[in-house]
């Protein structure tokens, strides 16, 4: 059974679809596409059904990434369906945990920046109201975090370790 990852931001049109696309690319390059599945969601219902923001799509495409998800809202069932739920910032993290008042799934929810290897920030900033530089910064942070996440997964899950 594949490991299932869910990337979560506010609207599911900038940061989380970018993280999903980056991670899918890294997973494919590592030859693990059959062992790791990625999805994304938003804590709000602002953009349900929308494609990723055109500015994020363009910036990602210039890096060879294709973002083709559709926005959806995070729901309680995601706690059961996914092995790791990765919040883009502390607000998203708290919004997710509010849907789990008993704390049953708390250990599945992490900040994506916890996996950064080069950056020290704890939050992926929302680039929605900024310029091109903000989208570039988000992709830089997410590249770092997703690379660290893949390393973590390979070290944590025996089924991802190289077979002799």
Reply yes or no on whether 146 is catalytic.
Answer: no
- Residue 95 to residue 38: CA distance in whole angstroms: 20
Q: Given the residues 9, 38, 113, 116, select the one marked as catalytic.
A: 9
The DSSP symbol for 73 reads B
Buried b (16+ CB within 10 A) or exposed e, 96-129: beeeeeeeebeebbbbbbebbeebeeebbebbbe
Reply yes or no on whether 15 is catalytic.
Answer: yes
Reply yes or no on whether 38 is catalytic.
Answer: no
List of residues 6+ apart from 141 with CB closer than 8 A: 113, 116, 119, 121, 124
- Residue 90 to residue 112: CA distance in whole angstroms: 10
Q: Given the residues 15, 25, 78, 89, select the one marked as catalytic.
A: 15
Q: Given the residues 25, 53, 78, 126, select the one marked as catalytic.
A: 126
The set of catalytic residues is 9, 15, 126
């Amino acid at each position: 059974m594949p490991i299932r990852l869910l990337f979560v931001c506010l609207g599911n049109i900038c940061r989380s679809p970018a993280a999903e696309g980056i991670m899918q690319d890294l997973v494919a390059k590592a030859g693990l596409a059959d062992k790791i599945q990625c999805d994304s969601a938003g804590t709000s219902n602002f953009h349900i059904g929308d494609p990723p923001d055109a500015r994020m799509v363009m910036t990602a495409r210039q890096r060879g990434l294709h973002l083709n998800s559709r926005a959806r809202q995070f729901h309680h069932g995601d706690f059961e369906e996914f092995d790791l739920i990765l919040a883009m910032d502390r607000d998203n993290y708290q919004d997710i945990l509010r849907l789990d008042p008993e704390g049953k799934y708390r250990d599945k929810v992490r900040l994506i920046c916890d996996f950064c290897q080069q950056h020290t920030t704890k939050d992926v900033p929302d680039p929605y109201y900024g310029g091109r530089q903000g989208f570039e910064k988000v992709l830089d942070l997410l590249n770092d975090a997703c690379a660290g996440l893949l390393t973590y997964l390979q070290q944590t899950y025996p089924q991802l370790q190289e077979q002799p």
